[in-house]
Structures are given as C-alpha cells and as structure tokens.
Structure 1
Amino acid sequence: MTAIRAAQAITPSTALGELITGNKRFVYGNPQYGHNVTQAAATAGGQQPHSVVLGCIDSRVPLEAIFDQPFGSICVARSGAHVLDRSLVGSVEFAVSALGVSLALVVGHKRCGAVTATVDAIRSDDRPGGDVGYLVEEIAAAVDGVDLDDPAATDQVIRAHVIRTTERLRESPALATAVAEGRIDVVGAIYDLDTGWVEFLNRKD
C-alpha cells in the first residue's frame, strides 16, 4: 500500500485532466493509444492507474477509447446505467485503497436504454420484475422532481442519476475520508453518443 501511494504522485485534478485531454484527442481524431499488444505486454508486470471509471454496459461507450487512455491507466467497472451495488462500490474502494487511484469518474450517456426503460416504466406504472426490476428501482430514485411530461425528461433523469451515483460514492464510508482529505475526487460526466464529447458535471477547477 505504501509503495503504491509513493509511486502514485498524481493528484485528483491531474487525473481528471488526463481524461479531459484524452477525450479531446478522441473527438478530434488524434488518439495516441489503441489496442496494441506491445502496450499490453509492457504493463503486464504491474499497474499504476490514475482513475477508476464507472460506466454503463452500453456497447457504444467504450470507456478506454473515449478517454484515449493506454493500458494500465484506468480501471473500468460497468453495470446497466452505472447502477451501484456492493460489488461495484467494493471495486471502486479497492481501486482507491489497493491501487492508489486519485479519481473516481461516473460516466452516464445520452439515450441510455436503462434510464429510458425506467422513465417508460414509471410513466406507464408497469415496472418489470426480477433483476431488471432491480435496475429500474435503483434508477427510479433519480426521477424525483423531474416532470415526466417534459420531452427532455429522460435527459434530466440521466443527469440526476449520474449526480446521485457520485454522491453515493462520496458518502461511502471507505471513500469519504479520502475525499475529505483531497486524496481522491469523485466526478460525474455524460457522454454524447453523437459527437464523442464528454461533459464533466461537477469539476472543481
């Protein structure tokens, strides 16, 4: 743990800057990194990631690609609409405590199918059962205060759900101290499927 922290000199704002700059390279068609086996081999002996990125399972949102990050630079955890459960929170906590990441980034995206299904289920009062129902119930908390008759309701819920996820991570007992001490930051973002741009919601700088 001490060795990881000693090697990990990057600050939360620097980690966020790496992702912002990488997203610009991605959008402008000038990526520096790709799926190259030599890069994979170069990091096989160890890793020093600067961020853990929590995103949706949507196949159109490849998180390593949209931030143009090389092997070993970010840890990725995914679930439908980045819904948190114990395994995902534990994964983020592990990335912070064992791998020394400086940033936890929550990435939602436009036209999210899970959020759309949740809004539709609430509008129709017909909620699915089983584990899909669990996803809907977890996302439904972000609907509070949103006018479902508004054509932009789904976009509003996507944004509210990202903010809610970041707040829940910040309040996690294992992360709250690190956040308070400035050792890590938790930031929300929304990916635009059409343009490739990532909007960062609650940056400090």
Structure 2
Amino acid sequence: MPELTRRGFIGITATSLVATSTASASTVSTKAAEDAWIRLMDGNTRFVEGRQQHPHASSHWRESLIDHQHPFACVLGCADSRVPPELVFDDGLGDIFTIRAAGEVLDSSVIGSIEYAVQHLHVPLVVVLGHANCGAVSATIEVVKGNAQVSGDISTLVRTIEPAVRATPPKPDSKTFLAACVNEQARRTAAILQERSVIIRDAVVHDGLALVAASYDLGSGRVVRLG
C-alpha cells in the first residue's frame, strides 16, 4: 500500500488483520479506517499550511444533521483550549465525534462515550490525541518529582497520568522529558482503552477498528502518529 506508507499509516491497525474467515468484513472496515486517517491528515495539512476549508459549517448542512449523525472518526483529546480537534483537522459539524478530558484521562464516562461512537455510530477510527506542553502531564511530572502537590479531583488526573510519567526514561532536559511523557500517555491511553473495553477490543479484532495514538505540536500545528 504505497499511498498509505507515504501518509504514515503502516501498522495503524495490524491487530485487525486476524482470521482469514473474517477477512472480507475486516477489509471493508480497515479500508474505512485508512480513509478516515487520511482524511484527518489531509485536513491537518490544510490547517498547518493555512489553507483551511472550514467544511460543513453552513446552515443547510447544520439542518441536515438534525435527525442523524455519521462522524467518520472519534477523537479523544485533551481539554486544553489550544487543541480543538475540529479546527486542528479542518473538519466541521458532524464530522468528528469528539471527547475531551485533561491529559486524555480515561474514566467510565469517557470509555462509554467512545464505545457509543464505535458501537452505535460505527466510526472506523479512534484517535487518542496528546499535545505538546500538556498542563496535566506537566503537573504530574512536578508531583512525581516532589516539587508540587495537587488537591481536589485534580489529584485523580495526576494519579491516572503518573504511570506514564514513571514509565518514561529520563531525558537530557525538562522540555524533551515532557514531550516524551505526553507521547507515552497517549500510547498508554490507547492501549488501556482496548484492555478495559470489551466492545473496543472486539471491534479491533473482528471489525477492523483502528486505534491510533497521535500528538499535536502547538507551534507548527501538525499532528503526527506515534509509533
């Protein structure tokens, strides 16, 4: 698949390529996942280059969505105000099923929302989108280092992100370490989502659902898929 190789999609859904008996059904879903990823990347390229089309924002399109929705992807992103998926991917109303939580932290409501997108809206692609200079990850690093304390339910966020910070090898400077922790958190969230949800796991194995961890750079505006 040379076209997909150029767009960095190789390996995105290897676990979906399982039993030969389900190859026909999986091929359809896998193609949809590949197309969804390409569509996101095309939109992000427009965003980075300042060529946004701002699609699906007209009153006519809005009215067409009153009775139904057919998003082509689900994005779990950080609540950070600088990373709105619809802008980052240059998409519009009804295009992306967006779920946002600080640090992409999973809880029952977040998992249930993703399950709804997969099981009832039939999205072929779920993206866990971390971002540079994430405040939730940065706060967790400071707590792990013993330099800060948090109170209230913010402590729940920190405890959830802490394993990603502790699993990240030391780096030569704090900025590089933060970036590595952000990426680790996105990867771990994608993996834990599949572990905790039977619905997601079955969709990956049997239906070709693709789970992708990615990261957004605040400076360039570019999204990159994490290996």
Determine which of 157, 161, 183 is the counterpart of 1:159.
Answer: 183
State the match for 1:123 in structure 2.
145
When the two structures are superposed, what TM-score results if normalisation uses the length of structure 2? 0.80
Give the conservation status (yes or no) of the 8 Å contact 2:33–2:210: yes
Could you list the runs of 5+ residues in structure 1 that have no partner in the other structure?
Answer: 1-7
Deviation at 1:42, TM superposition (A): 2.7
Offset from partner CA, 1:57-99 (integer Å, 9 cap, x none): 1111111011011211110000111100000000000000011
Q: How does 1:135-174 map to 2 (within 5 A)?
A: 135-148=157-170, 150-151=172-173, 152-171=176-195, 172-174=197-199
1:184 aligns with 2:206: no
Give the conservation status (yes or no) of the 8 Å contact 2:140–2:161: yes
C-alpha change, 1:145 and 1:81, in structure 2 (3 Å) is closer
State the match for 2:40 in structure 1.
19
Deviation at 1:37, TM superposition (A): 3.4
CA distance in 2, matches of 1:16, 1:170: 19
CA distance in 2, matches of 1:153, 1:79: 22
SS at match of 1:181: helix
Offset from partner CA, 1:146-201 (integer Å, 9 cap, x none): 34564121111101000000101222211111101243110011001111100111
Deviates more, 1:162-171 or 1:25-34: 25-34
Deviation at 1:105, TM superposition (A): 0.4
Q: How does 1:9-158 map to 2 (within 5 A)?
A: 11-33=32-54, 35-124=57-146, 126-148=148-170, 150-151=172-173, 152-158=176-182
Give the conservation status (yes or no) of the 8 Å contact 2:168–2:184: no
When the two structures are superposed, what TM-score results if normalisation uses the length of structure 1? 0.89
SS at match of 1:11: helix
The number of residues matched between the two structures is 196
CA distance in 2, matches of 1:32, 1:136: 37
Deviation at 1:20, TM superposition (A): 0.7
Deviates more, 1:131-140 or 1:38-47: 38-47
Offset from partner CA, 1:111-156 (integer Å, 9 cap, x none): 0011000001111264323210000000001012334564121111
Give the conservation status (yes or no) of the 8 Å contact 1:119–1:148: no
Letter in 2 for 1:195: S
Could you list the runs of 5+ residues in structure 2 that have no partner in the other structure?
Answer: 1-27
SS at match of 1:163: helix
- Identity percentage over the alignment? 35
Which segments of structure 1 move beyond 3 Å, counting only runs of 4 or more?
34-38, 147-150
